[in-house]
């Protein structure tokens, strides 16, 4: 019996699978280029990269 991964790989290499991957890629690019989405990403990036006003996330020194 084929493993789940090999079944997914077979589907991804089929014409229908390639079409679905292409559609998903196009949609992802549209979402990523949307100004509202980019603003959300930038906001999260600011919070994660040091929006806490501390020493960069190293924690208190004892």
What are the tens digits of pLDDT across the range 23-42? 999 999 999 889 999 899 89
21 Cβ contact list (under 8 Å, min separation 6):
12
Single pTM value for the model: 0.55
Q: Is residue 21 a contact partner of residue 29, using CB atoms and an 8 Å limit?
A: no
pLDDT reading at 10 higher than 70: yes
Tokens of 14: 């089929």
């Amino acid at each position: 019996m084929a493993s789940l991964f090999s079944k997914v790989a077979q589907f991804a290499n089929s014409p229908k699978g390639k079409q679905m991957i292409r559609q998903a890629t196009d949609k992802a690019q549209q979402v990523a280029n949307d100004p509202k989405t980019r603003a959300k990403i930038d906001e999260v990036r600011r919070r994660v990269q040091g929006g806490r006003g501390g020493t960069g996330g190293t924690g208190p020194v004892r």
